[in-house]
């Protein structure tokens, strides 16, 4: 596995699903936990969310690198959380994949699907280090290249670019739906003549 999954958990969720002693320790330090909310390293961040780094064998260096960064405050974190809630799903915990080769990605999800013109959009935005990638099942994710080592600045840039990628995706889908309805209504009028 060449990536680490990072989730941001709301306080009430962690408080209700993890033992009180674990929650109290995670306020001050990273703790390896195995509870319903997190199976990995968890800590309360300066942004008010618990961050959970799910650990895998073979990426210990990446986990350590992320632990040194992810408990800091980020300028674009709230934008990321807000955009995630609007575009993906307000009831799912925001999560990202941090890869060993310096990419940060949203997971493939049913909330994001392939759209016509996606390759053309990628041709236009790829120079920004941003891409809207589709898998073989037609699900889509947002991918940004920030490079390694991960730093506060690079992760903050990833939050910003992922947020903007999600916003762009959302706008394109809404415009395509609106145009489809407009064309269909015009077509119906033609058929009625």
- Segments forming the whole domain that contains residue 155: 75-193
Per the CB < 8 A criterion, the answer to whether 82 and 162 are in contact is: no
Q: Is the pLDDT of residue 66 over 90?
A: yes
DSSP label at residue 18: S
Number of compact structural domains in the chain: 2
Sign of CA dihedral 46, 161, 107, 146: negative
Whether 55 and 132 map to the same domain: the answer is no
Whether 13 and 67 map to the same domain: the answer is yes
Q: Measured at the alpha carbon of residue 94, what is the angle toward residues 90 and 99, in degrees to the nearest 5?
A: 155
CA-based R_g, the chain, Å? 19
pTM for this one? 0.90
58-65 mean pLDDT: 90
Q: Is the pLDDT of residue 1 over 60?
A: no
Whether 3 and 53 map to the same domain: the answer is yes
For residue 123, give every residue at least 6 positions away whose Cβ sits within 8 Å of its Cβ, in sequence order, or none. none
Percent of the chain at pLDDT above 70?
98
Whether 93 and 144 map to the same domain: the answer is yes
Whether 60 and 80 map to the same domain: the answer is no
Whether 62 and 90 map to the same domain: the answer is no
């Amino acid at each position: 596995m060449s990536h680490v999954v990072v989730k941001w958990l709301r306080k009430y969720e962690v408080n209700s699903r993890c033992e009180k002693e674990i929650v109290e320790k995670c306020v001050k330090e990273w703790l390896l936990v195995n509870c319903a909310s997190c199976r990995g390293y968890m800590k309360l961040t300066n942004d008010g969310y618990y961050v959970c780094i799910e650990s895998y064998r073979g990426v210990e260096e990446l986990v350590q690198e992320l632990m040194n960064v992810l408990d800091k405050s980020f300028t674009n974190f709230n934008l990321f959380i807000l955009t995630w809630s609007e575009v993906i799903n307000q009831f799912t915990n925001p999560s990202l994949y941090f890869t060993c080769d310096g990419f940060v990605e949203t997971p493939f999800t049913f909330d994001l699907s392939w759209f016509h013109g996606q390759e053309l959009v990628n041709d236009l935005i790829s120079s920004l280090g941003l891409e809207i990638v589709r898998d073989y099942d037609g699900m889509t994710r947002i991918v940004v290249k920030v490079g390694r080592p991960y730093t506060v600045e690079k992760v903050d840039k990833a939050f910003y670019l992922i947020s903007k990628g999600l916003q762009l995706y959302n706008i394109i889908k809404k415009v395509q739906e609106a145009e489809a309805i407009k064309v269909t209504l015009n077509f119906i009028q033609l058929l009625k003549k």
